Amino acid sequence: MSDRPKIPRQESLMMPLVRNPFVHKLDLTVGDKIRIAICTVTLFPIRLILILMFLLIAWLLALVALLGIKDELKEPLSGWRRVIKRVLVQIGRFQFFLMGFHFVKFKGKHAPASKAPILCVSPHSTYIDSLMMFCVGLPSVVSKEGNIGIPVFGTLVRILQPVFVSRNDPNSRQNTIKEIKRRAQSGGKWPQVIIFPEGTCTNRSCLISFKGGAFYPGVAVQPVVLRYLTVPDTVTWTWEGPGAYKVLWLTLCNLNNKLEVEFLPVYKPSEEEIKDPKLFARNVRAVMAEALNVPVTDHTYEDTRLMLQATKTGLPLSAGLVEFQKIRTKLGVTFDSVGNLLDKYAEIAKSDSDEGIDLEDFARYLDLPVSPALKEMFQLYDRDGTGKIDFREYIIGCSLLTQPANSEETIQLAFQMFDEGDKGYISQQELTQILHNAFGMTDTDVAKLFHNIDQEDSGKITYEQFKSYAEKKPEYAMLFKTYQQMNAVKEATNEQQQQGDKVKAE
């Protein structure tokens, strides 16, 4: 059909080069397994005991350093307290050494807090990244207020003099920005603030969307890129792959773990970037991606939430990956609306063990047989022509086709098409006649659909009932619109053919 509506296929809505940055498959050779088996009963317990012992020492020193301080957030640590903090840095570095990171390679120059108040570190691929803080002198962090109450860990967080955020405070983000700005204007008296802008762990195959926390203050940042070079890669901790304990166990069983830390030149934002933190974040990410030689994608932490929701509905984990940031920007959808569409998508796809909706699934969901009109509509959703609609395609189709088609005007026109004589209701016979001609539905199938719409069993469908059902399954509106367009093209073709035959006869 030449004039059917098109879904924009511009580059901005195409699938990313990296389909799933949240999965890590660990392949161990026979040699790796033998080494791990030996180290599990020899090296691993020794390393673990020593790490825990030095962790306890660090906690005790942190307690001493915090003695007599009622509010450690007002002023930076000074005097003998700062000396203890330096000792903690050395303890942390030794713990890093005990984990097998014997020689961390540094590239570039670490800028002081007076030049770059914020360290922007990526890619964030493991909780082991946090140990990198000891390599840069224990900078401050942005931390949830609740973390301070965690035994042992809470005391170690306090010694970092973090910038706290609170989910219960509606002004929390603005207060955080003000605090970072206040520290940035101290002339280097306060420690740098270290931020992992991706907000969640990935497999380092790309850089996902950067959150705005490091960029809202509008101050200079120093990008820092991490490269874990250990083979096999036991450190990566993602949403699908080795769990936290397994990562620790396997990493401690490595004889030597390799990490390269590169300090890139300080990035000073322009006036435009200060006014637009999202632009600031994108530009810094581009610099870091170039240094790492990896692509960028618009995946975010919200994608991981959708992944978890997908598993609850029986879909594969990867079904929820849609590059949420890009979808939200281009289509204006909210997270809640995408979550609702995921539930609906799962309802349609549940009969299939594979990821995706095929034509038969679509027909089954709409209680319709496969017809030319249904095929036509399905092809509008199936952007890549694979014969399957994935969740991303479904969101785009619903946003650009189905929802706009399901307008009050379209529903009224569809109702009028069924309602012969403008009676104000549709009889079962009228419904049967149209649906049989349009989609080849049998009398039995029409009777079932009629009963689903006529909830009151009154023997007729009112406009309100028709509208209510159409809003639950907006695909019907698009389907009727497609059918009408196909009929219009067919009638125009027949008319042209008749005129041609008439000309020939004359």
Same domain for 305 and 259: no
Residues 251 and 360 in one domain: no
CA distance linking residue 123 with residue 206, whole number of Å: 8
Query: Is residue 131 domain-shared with residue 270, that is, in the same domain?
Result: yes
- pLDDT at position 13: 55
Q: What is the DSSP letter of 210?
A: P
End residue of a domain, out of 292, 320, 339? 292
- What confidence score (pLDDT) does residue 2 get? 41
Residue 468 lies in a domain: no
The pLDDT value recorded for residue 169 is 73
In a domain, 322, yes or no: yes
The reply to whether 504 falls in a domain is: no
Report if residue 453 sits inside a domain: no
Domain membership flag for residue 495? no
Q: Whole-model pTM?
A: 0.79
The answer to the question of residue 247 being in a domain is yes
Let me know whether 283 and 393 are in one domain.
no
Same domain, 273 and 214: yes
Tokens, residue 335: 């997270």
The answer on 261 and 345 residing in a single domain is no
The helix or strand, by DSSP H or E, that contains position 259, with its residue range, turns out to be strand 259-263
pLDDT value at position 3?
47
Q: Is 94 within 8 Å of 57 (Cβ atoms)?
A: no
Separation between Cα atoms, residue 426 and residue 461, nearest integer Å: 5
Q: How many domains does the chain have?
A: 2
Residue stretches of the chain with pLDDT short of 50: 1-11
Question: Residues 60, 127: one domain?
Answer: yes
- Quote the CA–CA distance of 329 and 461 in Å, as a whole number: 40
Residue with tokens 């600031």: 280
Expressed as residue numbers, the domain containing 345 is 300-405
Is 307 domain-assigned?
Answer: yes
What is the model's pLDDT at position 17? 56
| pLDDT value for 351 | 55
Note whether 367 and 233 are same-domain residues.
Answer: no
Classify residue 484 as exposed, middle or buried by CB count within 10 Å of its CB (0-12, 13-18, 19+).
middle
304 and 262 within one domain: no
The answer to whether residues 141 and 162 touch, using CB atoms and an 8 Å cutoff, is yes
DSSP string, 131-150: GGGGGGT--EEEEEGGGGGS
Q: Say if 276 falls within a structural domain.
A: yes
For residue 448 the two structure tokens come to 């079932």
Q: Domain check: are 217 and 245 in the same one?
A: yes
Tens-digit pLDDT profile for residues 106-151: 999 999 998 999 999 999 999 999 888 888 888 988 887 777 888 8
Which residue among 364, 382, 405 closes a domain? Answer: 405
Q: What is the CATH number of the domain that holds 332?
A: 1.10.238.10
Together in a domain, 93 and 235: yes
Verify that 240 and 104 share a domain, yes or no: yes
Q: What are the CA-CA distances from residue 260 to residues 101, 108, 225, 491 (Å)?
A: 10, 11, 8, 69
Q: Give residue 158's pLDDT.
A: 86
Q: Give the end of a domain, one of 234, 257, 292.
A: 292
